[in-house]
Chain A
């Protein structure tokens, strides 16, 4: 297993108490797997992604362990993580548009970045140029300031920088949401190409746009209110989701070809619970059309079918009966 996360729990410390932003997250990624991480805003998807690379206060590590390529990663130790960041685990941040130093030429900035990791810029320059070719950026960008590049170009530049040291795990946080559809498609396909050329081993794509994931991801992990709801191969999530939340979420997505006059889509009534004092048991209980007494306990995240994990008591019971 290239990435193994066990029981990862991260809270946000606030004056009013701990916000339970991520609880008991356990999942694994196979070699070369591209996983999409989706859910509504505030569901903990960004917290999960970031906790694998940097835990900024007020984020607080509570429990859990993370393994990359069989090696345990000390995510609770901010200093100790330095030798893993960029080399082993890397991030393409949200708003990559503003991720580069505005007063440094891009080449100089990359030079400084590599120096901090003890890598010589000159050694890596030929490879850097090859990768610029790959994302169709001219080599001159290295002598330019970020302001001289368009949004799509900056996004591609940041992708090249983030993956330059061939990290095992790359986390892409909402990287397509600020782009128009044509650039969106180009950027998403380049990420797949990076995996194909083995610049990176695993990719986690954090987004709220499930239709992008359908295009590029091998599997999708759906989160709801700080807990994992369902993880399965992309096709299963789209076509035969098991968790009631996933099913409602997928059915509420408008698509080209669906018109109001012909088919009225329905949203999910209600709002997600506040995570300051999350309700006991299943967190989707309040909005779930199938909820019953057992949902007062927290459902386990179990494998009901090969590679298909669900946290729902109904599915748990169906599975227990069948097997």
Chain B
């Protein structure tokens, strides 16, 4: 449905754009129909950049993003509008998605004028109300209000309702949960899961592993713009292979197990050669060659891909590491 093929993004930074920052490096993955794929990474990993490139808010420096086989870079005019009918995004901060001097439901009116001028006002109102009900809002309570009169959860659901009105088939959900309170975030998450059941594909961008595990089938782990591990969500969570993924799984605070004590953070000096494994400077199991050699993604198990020298053929494998149903975690040597 949506496929990224070796997509890279270079930002110009520094005075007059004198330096290049490789935000996304040859990322490839695919989202199929009705699938939820989580894009997981810490701040600065390039996960939001990927979301913005899919929404054509940024242009990829290299590579191709294809939607149903067509390169989205080629969409112009009517074709682009048609693309936006099917692909929409919802972002982290619902408050800044609205113009505070207009009522919040203006987003629906704009949609009506721009995309559905042929539909009568009364029919449109019916559709809006139906969409609001389907995201769990009472139209009488939320329509005709200014953004500051609504809560973050309500505004966020407004944006999802707006996306639904377009009858979209692909949603880019960029950290949409993190601004919400614990008691409402699960409602929004359940809503996404329900929409998935109707065939909506979702790219769920998050740094929260437990949310990703709750909702998605596949996961892509990003580190500094590079995919370090990807595949089926159970495999990645139950047997994380890449040292970075292992570290993430070990550090994520959980309610059923306490942290291992005394795991040291590694900080290694790196020469800026531009080559080498992106995780080399923090990797506890790095070898000499990792400084210069960037391993490709290899399939180590069915639908489980890792980019690490320790999993290339003939390498001495790392000790198996499992978090599911075990009391003790074998330490990485």
Task: Show the binding face of A for B, using Cβ within 8 Å.
Answer: 40-41, 136, 151, 180-182, 184-186, 188-189, 208-212, 214-215, 238, 248-250, 252-260, 264-268, 271
Per-position contact with A for B218-239: 1 when CB-CB < 8 Å, else 0?
0000000000000000000100
A181 touches B248 (CB 8 A): yes
Task: Compute how far the CA of A257 lies from the CA of B254 in the bound complex, rounded to whole angstroms.
Answer: 10
Partner of B253, one of A211, A250, A259, A260: A211
Is there a chain A Cβ closer than 8 Å to B324's Cβ? yes
Task: Compute how far the CA of A249 lies from the CA of B213 in the bound complex, rounded to whole angstroms.
Answer: 19
From B8-16, B88-96, B113-121, B182-190, give the one contacting chain A: B182-190
B42 touches A256 (CB 8 A): no
* A265-B186, A267-B184 known; A257-B252 Cβ under 8 A: no
Task: Compute how far the CA of A271 lies from the CA of B187 in the bound complex, rounded to whole angstroms.
Answer: 12
Taking the closest CB of chain B, its distance from the CB of A199, in whole angstroms, is 19
Per-position contact with A for B177-212: 1 when CB-CB < 8 Å, else 0?
000011111110110010000000000000101110
Query: Which among B187, B207, B251 has the greatest number of chain A C-beta atoms within 10 A?
Result: B251
Taking the closest CB of chain A, its distance from the CB of B212, in whole angstroms, is 9
Task: Compute how far the CA of A23 lies from the CA of B1 in the bound complex, rounded to whole angstroms.
Answer: 54
Chain B at the A interface: SS class: helix
B259 touches A255 (CB 8 A): no
Taking the closest CB of chain A, its distance from the CB of B130, in whole angstroms, is 21
Top 7 closest A-B pairs, CB basis?
Answer: A180-B42, A211-B253, A268-B183, A267-B187, A40-B181, A185-B251, A267-B186
Task: Show the binding face of B for A, using Cβ within 8 Å.
Answer: 42-43, 151, 181-187, 189-190, 193, 207, 209-211, 213-215, 237, 247-249, 251-256, 258-259, 261, 265, 267, 323-324
Task: Compute how far the CA of A254 lies from the CA of B265 in the bound complex, rounded to whole angstroms.
Answer: 27
B186 touches A214 (CB 8 A): no
B248 touches A209 (CB 8 A): no
Task: Compute how far the CA of A215 lies from the CA of B256 in the bound complex, rounded to whole angstroms.
Answer: 10
Partner of A189, one of B185, B190, B248, B259: B259
Query: Which among B186, B187, B213 has the greatest number of chain A C-beta atoms within 10 A?
Result: B186
B248 touches A265 (CB 8 A): no
Partner of A249, one of B183, B214, B249: B183
Which residues of chain B come closer than 8 Å to A253, judged between CB atoms?
182, 186, 210, 255
Which residues of chain B come closer than 8 Å to A250, judged between CB atoms?
255
Task: Compute how far the CA of A249 lies from the CA of B186 in the bound complex, rounded to whole angstroms.
Answer: 11
A254 touches B183 (CB 8 A): no
Residue of A with least CB distance to B238: A257
A40 touches B183 (CB 8 A): yes
- Show 18 A/B contacts (Cβ-Cβ < 8 Å), sorted by A: A40-B181, A180-B43, A185-B253, A189-B261, A210-B182, A214-B253, A215-B259, A249-B182, A253-B182, A253-B210, A254-B214, A256-B213, A258-B210, A260-B193, A264-B190, A267-B183, A267-B185, A271-B151
* A180-B207, A185-B253, A214-B255 known; A256-B237 Cβ under 8 A: yes
* A41-B181, A252-B182 known; A258-B251 Cβ under 8 A: no
* A264-B190, A267-B187 known; A256-B181 Cβ under 8 A: no
B209 touches A181 (CB 8 A): yes
- Give 17 new A-B contacts, CB below 8 A, not counting A254-B210, A254-B211, A254-B214: A136-B265, A181-B253, A182-B248, A182-B251, A185-B251, A189-B261, A211-B253, A249-B183, A254-B186, A256-B210, A256-B237, A256-B252, A256-B254, A259-B213, A260-B215, A266-B186, A267-B187
Which residues of chain B come closer than 8 Å to A40, judged between CB atoms?
181-183
Task: Compute how far the CA of A214 lies from the CA of B139 in the bound complex, rounded to whole angstroms.
Answer: 39
* A181-B248, A185-B251, A211-B253 known; A258-B213 Cβ under 8 A: yes
Task: Compute how far the CA of A186 lies from the CA of B265 in the bound complex, rounded to whole angstroms.
Answer: 8
Which residues of chain B come closer than 8 Å to A260, judged between CB atoms?
189-190, 193, 214-215
* A180-B207, A208-B182, A249-B183 known; A265-B213 Cβ under 8 A: no
Residue of B with least CB distance to A43: B181
Taking the closest CB of chain A, its distance from the CB of B91, in whole angstroms, is 17
Which residues of chain A come closer than 8 Å to B42, judged between CB atoms?
180-182
B186 touches A255 (CB 8 A): no
Partner of A181, one of B214, B251, B258: B251
Task: Compute how far the CA of A250 lies from the CA of B186 in the bound complex, rounded to whole angstroms.
Answer: 12
Query: Which among A182, A189, A238 has the greatest number of chain B C-beta atoms within 10 A?
Result: A182
* A181-B251, A265-B214 known; A254-B189 Cβ under 8 A: yes
A257 touches B186 (CB 8 A): no
Which residues of chain B come closer than 8 Å to A185, judged between CB atoms?
251, 253, 259
Task: Compute how far the CA of A256 lies from the CA of B213 in the bound complex, rounded to whole angstroms.
Answer: 6
A184 touches B181 (CB 8 A): no
Residue of B with least CB distance to A211: B253
Task: Compute how far the CA of A265 lies from the CA of B192 in the bound complex, rounded to whole angstroms.
Answer: 13
Task: Compute how far the CA of A212 lies from the CA of B252 in the bound complex, rounded to whole angstroms.
Answer: 9
Query: Which among A214, A257, A271 has the greatest number of chain B C-beta atoms within 10 A?
Result: A257
B248 touches A248 (CB 8 A): no
Taking the closest CB of chain B, its distance from the CB of A189, in whole angstroms, is 7
A181 touches B207 (CB 8 A): yes
Which residues of chain A come closer than 8 Å to B249, judged between CB atoms?
256
Partner of B186, one of A136, A211, A238, A252: A252
Which residues of chain B come closer than 8 Å to A264, judged between CB atoms?
190, 193
Residue of A with least CB distance to B217: A261
Task: Compute how far the CA of A254 lies from the CA of B237 in the bound complex, rounded to whole angstroms.
Answer: 14
Partner of B209, one of A248, A256, A259, A271: A256
Taking the closest CB of chain B, its distance from the CB of A170, in whole angstroms, is 20
Taking the closest CB of chain A, its distance from the CB of B286, in whole angstroms, is 16
Residue of B with least CB distance to A150: B44
Task: Compute how far the CA of A182 lies from the CA of B267 in the bound complex, rounded to whole angstroms.
Answer: 13
